[in-house]
Structure 1
Amino acid sequence: MTTENKSIVQRALAGLIETGDVEVLAQFLSDDFVHHRPDSTTSTKAQWLAAVSAALAPIAGMQVEILHMLADGDHVVVHSRRWLPDAGPEIVVVDIWRIHDELIAEGWETIEPVAHAAANLVWWESDQR
């Protein structure tokens, strides 16, 4: 099952990146898809696709390098590096996808600008906790 689940995620992400069309991504999402952010907010399928669509224009031409893709049971984890073609800021993203009935049913996402990585390695030393 893990190979099939990785394939679903690969096809969904490749379709979005190659075409820039959220409808390609939408066909891989369940109707009750939920997206979770680190700040505890969640989005429905329609809300998340609208946010992805709105973000596409500013990030047109974004380069994506998949560093790791791991699957365990019904979850697929993707660790990627992303940057804009004009040498804009580079980010590292970790996405966790839960697959149900051959569709992506749930997603979690953490994004970190590479420029902030060193500071985030010592967050517990900050006086601003």
Structure 2
Amino acid sequence: MTNDLATRNKNLVLQGLAEFAEGSLDGMRALLDENFREHAPGNPAGRDAFIEFTANSPVATAKLDIKRVIADDDYVAVHYHLIPQHDARGAAVIDVWRLVDGLITEHWHVLQPVPDEEQIPNGMF
């Protein structure tokens, strides 16, 4: 049985990430609630501050290689390989987004640099 809310939220997040990966901030602006709450250290809260911060960070020019997406009602978790320019190994990232009425209201993330292959015989992804 599929959960319509989870599916809708998953599709909204994936569409927003795709537009961001193409260099457009319009999708992010339309998807983030004005009073967006950020839980990741060093990232600002509030839609406009978060968009400006993200647009000027290395993630803006990085490749996002999505590995899996898990949706549960209001929450969407995205596990991906973040590959910044000039860093082929990049980082393993899990973003958790909370949506209310079709808008992202909160965000958490966990980021781990990808180590040398010999340190991870089973791979990071």
| TM tier relative to shorter chain | 0.7 to 0.9
Could you tell me which of 10, 13, 18 is aligned with 2:17?
A: 13
Ranges in structure 1 where 5+ consecutive residues have no aligned partner: 119-129
Q: Is the 8 A contact 2:54 2:60 kept in 1?
A: no
Q: Is the 8 A contact 2:44 2:53 kept in 1?
A: no
Aligned-partner residue type, residue 93 of structure 1: V
Q: Is the 8 A contact 1:91 1:113 kept in 2?
A: yes
Could you tell me which of 18, 33, 38 is aligned with 1:30?
A: 33
1:50-76 CA deviation, whole Å, 9 max, x = no partner? 1101115x752x222111100111100
Q: Which runs of 4 or more aligned residues in structure 1 lie more than 6 Å from their structure 2 counterparts after TM superposition?
A: none
Structure 2 length-normalised TM: 0.79
Structure 1 length-normalised TM: 0.76
- Three-state SS of the structure 1 residue aligned to 2:18 is helix
Pairing of 1:33-112 with structure 2 (within 5 A): 33-37=36-40, 39=41, 43-55=45-57, 60=61, 62-84=62-84, 86-112=86-112
1:16 Cα deviation from its structure 2 partner: 0.4
Rg larger for:
1
Please give the alpha-carbon distance, in whole angstroms, between the structure 2 residues aligned to 1:82 and 1:40: 18
State the number of aligned residues: 115
Q: Percent identity?
A: 26
Please give the alpha-carbon distance, in whole angstroms, between the structure 2 residues aligned to 1:40 and 1:82: 18
- Three-state SS of the structure 1 residue aligned to 2:45 is strand
CA-based RMSD: 2.6
1:21 Cα deviation from its structure 2 partner: 2.6
